[in-house]
Each structure stands twice: as C-alpha cells, then as structure tokens.
Chain A
Amino acid sequence: MVYRPGTADATDPEFVEALAVARQDPELHRWFEEHCATHRAIRTRFKEIAAPDGLKGQILSEFKMRRAMVWWKTPIEIAAVAALILILIGAVLWFRPESEAPEGVNFATFRGRMVAAVLRNYRMTLETADAREVRAHLAQNNAPANYTVPASLERLPLVGCGLLSWQDKPVSMLCFRSGKPLEPFQKSDVFLFVVDEKAMPDPPHAKAPEIRAVKKFVTASWTADGKIYVLATEGDEALIRSYL
C-alpha cells in the first residue's frame, strides 16, 4: 500500500506501525517526508482539474427536462403506462352499473356492485344449510338479519351467507343453489342481497319487483319492511320470477 498524507491512511492499522518506524529512523524519515511532498504535489495537480463552467447547471437542467419526459422515455415505460390505463379502464367498466343512472350513491350502482361482487371471487363467511345459523351469523356481524325470503326461493337449498358492505352499510348475502350444474369453483348460483332501505336514496318499488339484466345476470329488486332486496342469478326473467 502507498501512504497518502493527510488522509485516513494515518490511522489505518496497516500504516500505523510503519509510520512509527519512519519517525524513529532519520534516513527513513527523510525518505518518508520526500514521499509525502511528492504525493502532495501530484495530488494538487489532479485536484487542479477544473470542471467546465456550466457543467453543474447542465446536469441539473437535463435532469429537470428528463424528469418531465421520463414517462415516455422507453418502450417499457410506455407499455407500463398503457397497461395501467387499460387496468383503470377495465376497473371502471367492471364496477360500472349497467343502467343509465350516473355513478354514485344510488340503487343502480348498488345493484351493479353486488352483481360484480359475485362475478368475482366472492367469499362466504359461513357455509351452512341451516337458515337459523345464517340469521344468527349475520346478526352477530351487524348485517341485516330480519329479512323475509320469498317462499319459492326458500325452497332452494341454502348454501351459506356472506358479508358485504355498501357505503359503509352492511349488506347480507344469502347464497342458494338452483340445482343446475356448477363450475368447479362455484358453490352457489342464486344470490339474495339485503341492505337497509336507509342506505339508498332511491330504493326500488315496494310491491312490484323490478326485473333488470345486469351483466350476465338477471336481477329482481324490491323493497319491503325497511329492507332492500336484490335477487340475482344467471338466466332469464322467467327463471328469476320463478323464485319470487
């Protein structure tokens, strides 16, 4: 190793002993002083290299310009931005209700969200065929539990229930089986959603269920006893009316 005066080399264990010897030996000391002087002289020449005027400003201005353009700099970034846009568009389309009603806190949006929820990988929080267990579970979780299931629907096998939410209001999801063959990942194919009427500024009519296609589902919606009901399944109007 070559010693550099005026640096941390002075405390480097590899140098400490040699420096001590150099201090005690006059001839070695002279050589050492000459080494340090030569080093300082050459070092000074290196440190005299001056960066051109304006280099710092040029670096900073290029940074600002490139930062503004950075999103469009490489094909990878362009592809990433394009993918992000597609994902956002997809998300908007996915959650958009099928009706003409504007996005917001209204019944059409609620109905669309509930259908979207079961089209995705929904999760039942309780799997049981026991209706009393289902009510108890929903009540325990502060979800609507004093609902009335239409008599025809009640004849379908109950599979379980799930807990959803809408505008911070709990939504009960009852899951039934129609008897049709299910996909391997499916556990149910008829869904009844129940939410408090106060959660909606425009609840559906009380007496006549409103039939509406939402994505690949058909829905029937009505209001009764302070509760809003949405029944959803794959099929047509005749099928869903058969459950009412």
Chain B
Amino acid sequence: MAHGLDFESVVARYYEPLYQFAFSLTRAEADACDLTQQTFYVWATKGHQLRDPAKVKTWLFTTLHRGFLESYRRQTRFPQQDLESVGDELPAISSPLANQLDSTQVLRALAQVDEVYQAPVALFYLEDCSYKEIAEILAIPMGTVKSRIARGIAQLQKLLADDFSTPEWTRPEPSE
C-alpha cells in the first residue's frame, strides 16, 4: 500500500464516515455497504497512485461519490443557481424541535431535498470535510459548494419543520 498506509488502518479510520456518507446518499443499508466496499476495493487497486498521503480522505470520499453517481443518480443535469437567491431561504426549524428528530426523519427529509444538494449537505453535516475538501470531492467550484450547502440546508430544515407540523399518518414513506 502506498506511503506506508496499510489497508487495514485506512479501513479502520474511514469506513464509518464513508458508510455514513453513502447511507446519506442512498438511504439503503445494502447500497451503502456496496458503495463503501467498492470504494475500498478501488483504494486497494489504485490507492498506490495517490502521491499525497494527506489526500487519502478526499480521495476516498471522491471515489465513493463517483461510484454513487455512476450507479444511482438519475441521468439529469441540474441547473446551477446564483448565490444571491439564497438569502430568503432561512433556517426554518428550531433547536428544540431538531433535538426531537431521529436519524430516519433527517434522512427522509434529505431524500426530498433537491438531489444536487444532497451530497453537499451530507458532507457538511458529517463534518469530516472542509469546504475545500467538499469542493474537491464533488468536483465543483468552492462558490458552488457554498451555495449548494446553503440552499440544501434551507430546504432540509424547512422539510423537517414541515415534518413536525404534518400528522404522522400523512408523512411520506421512505423511498426504500
């Protein structure tokens, strides 16, 4: 393995955050496991090509995201929007309500966020990556990362707030 990084230590360090990211995107355990395993398989076969050991984390998240795009994403192109329109999309959920949430509710809401925002928002909340790293992982400019995160969070928090104001029997079922 490249740079003295043995496979087992890389797996031990990153398999959980990668799985969390994969599950945030797919919301299906089997798919998230597949993506995580596939990512480490690619690492095992191509990781030696990585010259900078400090980039391992970004490399793994990038590989996982690419795997997700290849396998799961709809073949749609999403228009980019300007940052200026974000201002009126303010957070819509209070912290006491947020504390009553569970993971299933959060991921169900994330699934309803515009697809182009889902990966940035997941990476944002998982906090394993800086804005710069998120831009590298998603292969988009920093400004686009910022705008997508801002819009995605606004959508997510609004959906969560709506979730509380909607009777439970009318809430949408998870897609899986």
In the assembled complex, how far is the CB of residue A204 from the closest CB belonging to chain B, in whole angstroms?
Answer: 52
Docked-complex contact B19 and A49, CB < 8 angstroms: yes
Docked-complex contact B102 and A45, CB < 8 angstroms: yes
- Size band of the interface chain A makes with B: 20 to 34
Work out how many contacts link A and B, with CB atoms closer than 8 A. Answer: 100
Number of interface residues of B (CB under 8 A): 44
A-facing mask of B136-156, CB < 8 A → 1, else 0?
Answer: 000000000010011001001
Interface of B is mostly: helix
- B70 beta carbon closer than 8 Å to chain A: no
List chain B residues, Cβ under 8 A from A40: 95
Docked-complex contact A43 and B149, CB < 8 angstroms: no
Docked-complex contact B93 and A38, CB < 8 angstroms: yes
Docked-complex contact B153 and A2, CB < 8 angstroms: yes
A-facing mask of B85-99, CB < 8 A → 1, else 0?
Answer: 000000101110011
Whether A41 contacts B11 in the complex (CB less than 8 A), given A4-B124, A58-B37, comes out as no
In the assembled complex, how far is the CB of residue A67 from the closest CB belonging to chain B, in whole angstroms?
Answer: 7
Residues in B lying within 8 Å of A, measured CB to CB: 7-8, 11-12, 15-16, 19-20, 23-24, 29, 33, 36-37, 40-41, 44-45, 91, 93-95, 98-99, 101-103, 105-107, 122, 124-127, 130-131, 146, 149-150, 153, 156-157, 160
Residues in A lying within 8 Å of B, measured CB to CB: 1-2, 4, 6-8, 34-35, 37-43, 45-49, 51-52, 55-56, 58-60, 62-63, 66-67, 70
19 more contacts with CB within 8 A, not counting A39-B125, A55-B37, are A2-B149, A37-B98, A38-B93, A38-B157, A41-B95, A42-B98, A42-B101, A46-B20, A46-B24, A46-B122, A46-B125, A47-B20, A48-B103, A51-B20, A56-B11, A58-B33, A59-B36, A63-B11, A66-B44
